[in-house]
Amino acid sequence: MNAKTFLRFLVGGLLLAGYYLAPSFLRDGEGVAPIHPDNIEELWLVVPGEDGFHLRRSSDSWELVGRREIRADPAQVGSFLEGLGNARLEAPEGAPEVDWDAAPELHVALRRGNDLTLQLGPRVRPFRSQLVRTNGRVHRISFDLSASLGLWQGDFAWDADRILDRIPLLNEGEEIVRIRLSNAFSDYLLERTEEIVERREDQFGEEEKHYRWTSGGTHSDRNPSTAAMYRYSQDLKMLVVDGVAADLTPDSEAARTVTFTTSGGDTFEVATGQPLPGETRRLLWLRQPSPSDAYLVDDRFFHRFTPAGARLYESRPVFVTEASRGARITYERDGHLLVLERNQRGGWEITRPRIPYSIHTPEPEPGTPPESMAEMYASGLDSIGTEELFVPDTEDRELLVDGVFDEPAARLLVEDSDGDRLELLVSAPVAGTGRVFVSMNGKIGVLDERFIGRLAPDIKYFLNPREVEGRTIEW
């Protein structure tokens, strides 16, 4: 080998080695925190007196250890890792007094086994730097680690759910093409066609495509509403959970399930349980693509996610009473009886029980005529749309309706001036469903249980709240 050849090999070799090795030397010289984010395998945070979290890297996400298919929020963990990887360690200014025993501890398990513990001290400049202690030495780190983990002071309590991925069904925004919504009363099988019925502009000027949907199974003779299905398929894309139900496991029997398929062919099956006692939240868990532990979901999102099935159709069965044209409305509820009768002036009065109050007429909205509480009640009774399309197509469903009107929760009687009568029976709530049955002339429907209070309200509903506040009225 001559000298020229040797020199060429040497230059080539040095160039390659320098290209790959120099960054690690140069980085060390810049005082960067001695952790490369990609070497981190596990992270766990211990917060004195509070719940911490324990995360483990999986193939494409960070998962909460000890939980089934519950992920950490990628944006939050990503921001934390990036901040940690780029942060510089500097000497702190002065000698800060910090109670390190009360400081949250972040344990970092690295791939090569050199675990590290960082005690998170107070922030020095919010979003820019804070004090940390590692191996007994205090540093000022040029990143607000605590903010990236959601650790703050004040009355605010640390909540381990702050690291949780709270939108667990996130996908690229693919269209939803098939939905199956099931509950105790009915199964709704809805499929999107390629036919666009209407194009609209949303508030941002973007085009909304309203597709035609078809209904299968027992409701194949009904037409789904394109507008309602557009809204529902949007709602299905954005399920926001409140947290993980740490100590609660879901029953195998779900109150309602939703299964939907996206245009990309992904299928998700989500089951929801009963409301938790004394809460406005309930359990929700995934069955597909992988069974997960239970999340807690607020009722607001639950109702958006599992709406009343009948509301997804163009028309739903309606009970028409025309009560506002009637002459007398009687209802019984919980042993109470109330009779409303139209007087000679065309207004309504309570004739039973005898009470020293008249029916209240609230201050009308500007531009609208005054309306008494009885008129509002009667016009609300005029037509009652059902919430579910009940079909007793299985033995379980037949049993559901068996004998429910033997002891109704409410009984209503609407009579007109000719003496024609219309009777409405409302069943007690069907256990675990949040629904009641309603019957009129042999026709059966399903309503939300809150309808009991609307169909047969407390007597105070009709009276001036200022006059009856704090008073007990026998009725």
Residue closer to other proteins by CB (options 169, 184) is 169
Residue closer to other proteins by CB (options 78, 385) is 78
The DSSP line for 208-247 is EEEEEEEEEGGGTTSPBPHHHHHHHHHHHH-----EE-TT
Segment contacting other proteins by CB under 8 A, of 101-109, 119-127, 222-230, 362-370: 119-127
Q: Could you say whether residue 9 binds other proteins (CB under 8 A)?
A: yes
Segment contacting other proteins by CB under 8 A, of 6-14, 316-324, 336-344, 409-417: 6-14
Q: Could you say whether residue 100 binds other proteins (CB under 8 A)?
A: no
Question: Considering the complex, what minimum distance in angstroms separates the CB of residue 233 from other proteins?
Answer: 12
Q: Per CB under 8 A, which of residues 235..294 are in contact with other proteins?
A: 237-238, 240
Segment contacting other proteins by CB under 8 A, of 45-53, 125-133, 410-418, 444-452: 125-133
- Can you tell me whether residue 333 is helix, strand or coil? strand
Question: Considering the complex, what minimum distance in angstroms separates the CB of residue 32 from other proteins?
Answer: 11
Q: Could you say whether residue 23 binds other proteins (CB under 8 A)?
A: yes
User: Is-contact 33 129, C-beta < 8 A?
Assistant: no
Alpha carbon distance, N-terminus to C-terminus of the chain: 113
- Can you tell me whether residue 267 is helix, strand or coil? strand
Q: Per CB under 8 A, which of residues 166..205 are in contact with other proteins?
A: 166-167, 170-173, 202-205
Q: Could you say whether residue 126 binds other proteins (CB under 8 A)?
A: yes
Dihedral sign for Cα atoms in the order 274, 276, 282, 285: negative
Structure token digits, residue 200: 């609209």
Please name every residue paired with 51 in a beta bridge, in sequence order, or none if there are none: none
Q: Could you say whether residue 154 binds other proteins (CB under 8 A)?
A: yes
Dihedral sign for Cα atoms in the order 305, 308, 311, 315: positive
Cα distance between residue 439 and residue 445, in whole Å: 6
Run of H or E residues at 285: strand 281-288
Binding track over 132-151 against other proteins, x by CB under 8 A = -----------xx--xx-x-
User: Is-contact 208 236, C-beta < 8 A?
Assistant: no
User: Looking up tokens 């200014």, which residue turns up?
Assistant: 93
Q: Could you say whether residue 102 binds other proteins (CB under 8 A)?
A: no
Cis ω before 92 (30° cut-off from 0): no
Q: Per CB under 8 A, which of residues 69..88 are in contact with other proteins?
A: 73-76, 78-79, 81-83, 85-86
Number of residues that bind other proteins (CB under 8 A): 62
Residue closer to other proteins by CB (options 206, 221) is 206
The CB density around residue 101, as the number of other CB atoms within 10 Å, is 7
Please name every residue paired with 123 in a beta bridge, in sequence order, or none if there are none: 130
Binding site for other proteins (CB under 8 A): 4-9, 11-13, 15-16, 19-20, 23, 26-27, 37-38, 60, 73-76, 78-79, 81-83, 85-86, 122-123, 125-128, 143-144, 147-148, 150, 152-157, 162, 166-167, 170-173, 202-206, 237-238, 240
